[in-house]
Structure 1
């Protein structure tokens, strides 16, 4: 059986002068050579049939289609069907009332949650002429103003068309990225059985809002074999592959009657249902006939049709609701009922079976893409890492592509016999699917059956039980996907039987949400159910990412999707009340309070529980232990009960264990996560400063030794618990001591020598096409760099000057981070004078860091050049000395320029905030010259939507002959353009101001915080938030000879200064 689809679009019928309407015979003639072999013809029009939606236009369109049908029927006696969808011209949208426009704005603001029957009726009222026209040609099996289903049966083949009215909320002019479609209203239509499922849309996917784009794209790719669109007047065919490895055919139609003199085009699709293949031809008007675009219509060049997706088994509503549940209550600002599929992001997995210690993590979407090659799978992971959510999402994904998964309860399997196994599986199936499908399921090929078992460790520790269960499941299911707790592998290793049973399974360990996954989850949270503008969305994503990565990125709290969602919800709540301007520590406290609340601690008991924990943490600090024995905690509880509040020890410990604040092992009790210990020690110190005089001296000691990790974390939380300004001053005094013998960089004088080493300003190219993809690349690199261990000072030094230069640089930025958080959290309570003093310290610190490296050039340039030039000639022996010297100069200029770019970019992130903009600009304009102004620009470029274009233009002009300063400014702007959406005019303006080409041959690749591949691929320097990670990848730290030389140069500098 063959079918023919004539795909027309964008006819744009006017009330008069429509020459294309007279070509119905010419259009029909293109089908003549293939029509004798087909059983039916479908005329599909994907929108913009009319030009302005008037009755007269549709009268003309009716005549055209009727003439076309009659012509085809006159040539061969086969059925001719017409299926239509409206476009943005198929409505009298120029007559849109203020009320309708206001409704559309509300839809774009609130998203799908705002849409109901009344809203749909109001918005589609301007399409009434189209609806009357549409009724003449086809009768849908399911009819709705926004979604119609057309079903056709030919022999044993069922063809289903889903016609989606994406233009229901169109306006004049149509704005890209603003369309919203309520997909959830039509969820029951997604998985209907058919041999071929075809979806018709006028607008391609790039015209929909962020909240609609991803769900609609996933729906089209997972539920339909063919996607037909119009609107953009581009005739193209492509095949896409979704996350599960399944293909979809995308047919974008050109315009039959374009607005200008472009070709009149359409396409014809032949479906060979028996052989599961298709052929596609495009035709264009040459002034006389419609010619095939490739010169001749060859109808024997077939491609394989994608397989149908539906399994024929319908999941019942109770199961769908259970699977879509997030397992916890999360209130979303745009959705009343937030579902798992709304925000799901595939977590990363570690391949336990890999023999390569350096193997990269893999995304868990590998399970949906490569199940056939992976076979049976077991995933280990701690609670709250999302094992259950992953299984639930995979359940729906596999069902969409034709498998029949069921989720089995390990508690039921534990003691089951062979006969009981069968009954359990059948009962589970009828609980999750349509009960009438049971017989059909029992006869289904086991290759189509997947068994999910969540928390297989609930089977117990007996290996023979695990063996019995897995043996049965393997016999009756094509694939098994199991999850288990992190410590279940100990059980497996202790039992030879269990170990052998799991040997054929591919083993993975679930990992936390790093920078890339957090970015993706935050973006999905803010995109779902809303139609935010690019500027609004990226600002929300940036602000949330700053807070959440500030908390989870320090490794003090588990990096789980659960914690990301808790913090996202907290941010939403805090924006509406007193915590709107809170520092990061307030969010840590919220996590603690939530844990206690989940453990059923009453709100009026929270203060007492927090007091108990702060005293316990201090007791453990005094004992210098991370684990407190049962005898020690009993003694502590006795003292606390006598001096503060009588507490029953056993009940209290049970509550704190339930809240996952304390854990117990063989030695005693300990805080579950490091941040809890630091948080409560800081709380105790803050609450008892007046009662215990020695505490102030201890805090001052901590501030002077922030290079010790414990000290730094306690001080961080102290600034949350205490408003004492003397603590801030102590931290600031430490910052001023770091690299104190180096003066801050003065661009006007300190760059004179290095500026002579290059002859002109270089242009760079930045790919600004997709800032979201760019952010993902940067975040992925952040994840890779976060894996690197930082050198950690374990013992205290008598003086900060005993730290080597790289350690001082590392501490410089860590100390800056603490002061930056204080400034951002207390911008409204600190006086302007205090803010200015702190900002001055924060401006000077990175400028001293840059000048440290630049001073090596200024003090002993010849020695440095000789070293680099000799190394170049050693690699390129035929290179003469003059050329190698020039190359060495460019190399050193590029590397130190990249360091400057990195240092200022990182410090910009630390102090950058719209709330501090005025204070930063005041300081930059008061003194400090060009260097201060560059730091100010770095701060304002560290967040979206506030690029100081006028100041950048002024700085660019003043740095015109200062190549080093210009390069640094260029790098800061390039990173901003790479990472954030900018309106086209602003983007072009910034690019032209600092010599940036948008897309070019010399691409710039940002790895983290302003770094890039410089012109010479051998001279790249990799940067990250960790300065040690930045510098240990540079030529300085990787080359022992250079390190020794630079150490000697630094000593020479000191000797010269001493003589002077």
Structure 2
């Protein structure tokens, strides 16, 4: 709450110092207000000689609460006065600053569009110089000024009730969820998200940061904010409320999710609802002292009310208003003119950089002083990406703060008793489902009824070979369910309690709100009937077509719900059949001699510059990941998922192989403590060999001289096209372009090889299976397995075994390609993690990786991602 004195800024023209006596008189007349501690007066006579006067003026203007503008003909033509006037108008719109135009002398002030809109003083804008007794003019001005000061101070000192303050900063289910902090508050974990902006026709036009939403509200005056369930709508309402209060507005928060809020029934006149809730949210508030333009309704869950049009007409009477809905088209009312007043925004999912910011906030949250722990940040990032489903495609769970923090919390603590048949990631999803049901006050002994209903609903949709049921199909499902199962709960009540899980579309079709719910219950349905021939056939079909995202997700959930070892055996058999006409690559000298001969053309890894901190490098990497994820989502918007998007057999086989290994990786990570070591060993080995066979097929392709010549020729032609646009003195000779094309070719080949090794590490690696991966790689004992072993150790254990690396790269069978890959893995680690001087020297000396002597940015390496 603000408690400092109001700051009054005086703006006037300095031409020939004619106005200064009037300003002095005004200052003297209102000085008692300053002596009584009501205000602090500032004008440019307080600037000391030698000070940077313009910066001081700007700074005091920016922090003012009341601006008195002394209007004269000189003021209206002064550039500095006009600049101050424009800044004052901006502050009025942005920070609720009060502007008082005081007409000093006769002038054409009514011709100024901004000034003429304001209430001028003295009364009716009579110039001070027209008063025979100017003390009457100042008395008139000071009387109005005191009224404003009293109102501003009253509103400033209106206090929010303690119980409502608790609501505003309540982190709900996360309050007691952190292992290192006794209580978590909303401010502890809040980050600014992004919002999609829509024009008045509801067409997307831009993206803004949520930190700018208050400026938007003050400019547009009427806004709607939409978002899915758990997207953070209420949190944003709370932040807008707090920021408006800082600007001396009186926000009132209303939630229409139920028929009552803060113990008040949300019935009757809208104005009465607002006044009742103002009294519930503020201590002894005197509403008659507050102008209606200061009251800002913030209406949450407006889509739940049945009287939208009636309420909307009343809300529009307030200058500022924010309405929160589930969809930008939810304001479905007859009077379109009412909705046209609103500018619309929708909450976006968090992109990688914002997910990282949220994870860092959570990790650094402690009652004790802590430091950045990149190990925990990276581990939680991998956990979140896996849980969201980002490793397999667009994802199955929305990347909203609630889901991200709840996932971390679920892995760190236990919200519900752990079902031994559900693995770690499956338990996380089950925890979300349980949370939904408990949030709707479903009793513990009824949860099984709801779970069974959802399982059957998912099975029915899956059998229909669609991702929804139309109205008739849903009706048929309900009838068949009632015939088959006892339903001791009123079905209407059951469906109302499932509104966060089952969605009814505008076309009266029914589906799961989020894909992860559908896949979870489909897999549960299949796994509960493993002995049926039909289900065995279904499982086999799913596992043989993992290139289709739906099958990949269902397969992962199948291993959560079932301990059927036949599933693992079939996955192993499928893996061994992929690219099986090739042997796994070893990256020995004999195998890669044709690339090693071109090692001089391949870029060398260089240690990052001393000034390039891990935080800075991570920021650059996250920026690249933001762009990559956005482009992938845009691509998926215009293509069909699965078999239809695959152009040829090679592409299909490649996608199938990549997805299969990703599924294996998910199984290994999620069942690392509940699958026998030998099965983990075999799954890891088969998954690794799939990619190594792909690598062999690639090496065979680029080993052919005809393929080399053909590709280099294509690159040369492209260089010729680029060369046409260059000035003569920058053009290259044919020989120079040929050399450049050759370098590009071999660097592309190298980074594809590097990318495949890195893909194995990302897909199969995990801190929980280091022992397994070490054993598998040690048994194979070749350069490729060595790279995979240490890549996993470096990435997931943050452990750089310099002596072992140094010894191995000098081995007679260790290829130059493998050596360069080793160096790049080490450099990437060093760029993203703090390395002290002594360890840096060891890397330079033992691994012979050169230092970066000049400050430069190494181009981002585009990872092999299929």
**1:379–1:510 contact (8 Å) kept in structure 2:** yes
2:364 equivalent in structure 1: 527
1:588 equivalent in structure 2: 429
Match of residue 569, structure 1, among 409, 415, 431 = 409
- Per the TM alignment, residue 544 of structure 1 is displaced from its structure 2 partner at its CA by 2.8
2:593 pairs with 1:715: no
* DSSP-derived class of the 2:327 partner: coil
* DSSP-derived class of the 1:407 partner: strand
- Map Cα deviations across residues 558-615 of structure 1 (whole Å, 9 max, x no partner): 3322222332321221499968994422212222222233333333443444334333
Match of residue 345, structure 1, among 173, 182, 191 = 191
2:353 equivalent in structure 1: 516
**1:378–1:481 contact (8 Å) kept in structure 2:** yes
Q: Distance in 2 between matches of 1:532 and 1:903?
A: 40
2:529 equivalent in structure 1: 688
Match of residue 657, structure 2, among 789, 794, 812 = 812
* DSSP-derived class of the 1:784 partner: helix
2:580 equivalent in structure 1: 740
Q: Distance in 1 between matches of 2:286 and 2:236?
A: 26
* DSSP-derived class of the 1:482 partner: strand
1:843 equivalent in structure 2: 688
More contact order relative to length (CA 8 Å, sep ≥ 6): 2
- Map Cα deviations across residues 766-803 of structure 1 (whole Å, 9 max, x no partner): 33342663564355235324423345565599xx9x95
Q: 1:739 to 1:803 in 2, by over 3 A?
A: farther
2:755 pairs with 1:909: no
* DSSP-derived class of the 2:635 partner: coil
**2:715–2:741 contact (8 Å) kept in structure 1:** yes
1:619 equivalent in structure 2: 460
Q: Distance in 1 between matches of 2:231 and 2:239?
A: 14
- Per the TM alignment, residue 355 of structure 1 is displaced from its structure 2 partner at its CA by 10
How many residues end up aligned between the 2 structures? 713
2:798 equivalent in structure 1: 945
* DSSP-derived class of the 2:298 partner: strand
**1:685–1:695 contact (8 Å) kept in structure 2:** yes
1:862 equivalent in structure 2: 709
**1:728–1:819 contact (8 Å) kept in structure 2:** no
**1:705–1:711 contact (8 Å) kept in structure 2:** yes
**1:768–1:998 contact (8 Å) kept in structure 2:** no
2:106 equivalent in structure 1: none
- Per the TM alignment, residue 405 of structure 1 is displaced from its structure 2 partner at its CA by 3.9
- Per the TM alignment, residue 349 of structure 1 is displaced from its structure 2 partner at its CA by 0.5
* DSSP-derived class of the 1:453 partner: strand
**2:461–2:469 contact (8 Å) kept in structure 1:** yes
1:422-441 to 2 correspondences below 5 Å? 429=278, 431-435=280-284, 441=290
- Per the TM alignment, residue 540 of structure 1 is displaced from its structure 2 partner at its CA by 3.0
1:240-259 to 2 correspondences below 5 Å? none
- Map Cα deviations across residues 461-493 of structure 1 (whole Å, 9 max, x no partner): 6657524531x112xxxx43332230545616x
Between 1:834-843 and 1:873-882, the stretch displaced more is: 873-882
Match of residue 675, structure 1, among 516, 521, 538 = 516
2:739 equivalent in structure 1: 886
Q: Distance in 2 between matches of 1:932 and 1:885?
A: 35
Match of residue 400, structure 2, among 560, 570, 577 = 560
Q: 1:623 to 1:874 in 2, by over 3 A?
A: closer
- Per the TM alignment, residue 668 of structure 1 is displaced from its structure 2 partner at its CA by 5.5
Structure 1, unpaired ranges of 5+:
1-152, 160-192, 196-271, 280-296, 1012-1021, 1028-1060
Q: Distance in 1 between matches of 2:762 and 2:330?
A: 42
1:254-403 to 2 correspondences below 5 Å? 274-275=43-44, 298-299=50-51, 303-304=55-56, 305=59, 307-308=62-63, 312-316=156-160, 317-328=162-173, 330-333=175-178, 334-353=180-199, 361-368=207-214, 373=219, 375-400=221-246, 402-403=247-248
Q: 1:814 to 1:431 in 2, by over 3 A?
A: same
Whichever structure has more helix as a proportion of its residues is 2
1:538 equivalent in structure 2: 374
1:1003 equivalent in structure 2: 857
1:762 equivalent in structure 2: 604
2:822 pairs with 1:822: no
Q: 1:886 to 1:708 in 2, by over 3 A?
A: same
- Per the TM alignment, residue 889 of structure 1 is displaced from its structure 2 partner at its CA by 1.8
Task: Say what the alpha-carbon RMSD is for the aligned residues.
Answer: 4.2
1:131-170 to 2 correspondences below 5 Å? 156=34
Structure 2, unpaired ranges of 5+:
1-30, 66-151, 257-263, 725-730
**1:463–1:497 contact (8 Å) kept in structure 2:** no
Match of residue 440, structure 2, among 596, 599, 609 = 599
Match of residue 872, structure 1, among 690, 705, 719 = 719
**1:657–1:663 contact (8 Å) kept in structure 2:** no
**1:331–1:338 contact (8 Å) kept in structure 2:** yes
2:785 pairs with 1:932: yes
- Per the TM alignment, residue 1003 of structure 1 is displaced from its structure 2 partner at its CA by 0.7
**2:199–2:205 contact (8 Å) kept in structure 1:** no
Q: Distance in 1 between matches of 2:227 and 2:477?
A: 34
